[in-house]
């Protein structure tokens, strides 16, 4: 399901370890030279992902428990920046808009790889094939 520029996937009745899903997510981005910061709060894990060279910044949010959970891939920028990008550009803010576009390109490319990877890993964990 898409919510604006955010992609959200939900898994129901899966019985997988959320800590393992979190570790697999962090490892995925680290192996691709992204910097990663994790924040745990109750049943939510926020994984902020940055790439200084590519100027990319986005977050992966994991919410739920072992039985049912959702994973969300979202941009790490204020909604107002996305909404008013054209206005900023008209008043000399083109540099910021260009930076945002570059970040979105990197995020879109890595996002498609991420969904294939994490969906496959969750299916392997469900089938008992992956022991982490």
At 82 the pLDDT is: 47
CA distance 78 to 31: 27
CA distance 30 to 34: 5
At 107 the pLDDT is: 77
Provide the residue ranges of all domains of the chain, joining segments of one domain with +. 2-126
CA distance 47 to 64: 15
22-44 confidence digits (pLDDT tens): 999 999 999 999 999 999 999 99
Element (H, E) at 25: helix 18-30
Q: Which two tokens stand for residue 92?
A: 């000399």
**Which is nearest to 46 in space by CA: 67, 74, 27?**
74
Q: Does domain 2-126 have CATH number 2.60.40?
A: no
40-96 confidence digits (pLDDT tens): 999 999 999 988 766 678 899 999 998 999 999 987 754 444 445 555 455 555 545
Phi, psi dihedral angles at 64 (to 5 degrees): 130, -155
CA distance 19 to 80: 33
At 131 the pLDDT is: 63
Band (2; pLDDT cuts 50, 70, 90): very low
pTM higher than the cut 0.85: no
Higher-pLDDT residue of 19, 83: 19
């Amino acid at each position: 399901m898409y919510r604006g520029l955010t992609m959200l996937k939900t898994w129901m009745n899966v019985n997988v370890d959320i800590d393992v899903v979190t570790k697999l997510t962090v490892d995925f981005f680290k192996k691709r030279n992204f910097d990663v910061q994790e924040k745990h709060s109750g049943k939510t894990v926020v994984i902020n992902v940055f790439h200084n060279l590519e100027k990319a910044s986005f977050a992966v949010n994991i919410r739920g428990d072992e039985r049912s959970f959702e994973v969300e891939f979202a941009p790490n920028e204020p909604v107002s920046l996305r909404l008013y990008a054209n206005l900023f550009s008209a008043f000399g803010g083109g540099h910021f808009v260009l930076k945002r576009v570059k970040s979105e390109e990197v995020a879109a490319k890595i996002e498609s790889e991420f969904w294939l990877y994490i969906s496959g890993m969750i299916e392997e964990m469900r089938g008992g094939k992956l022991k982490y």
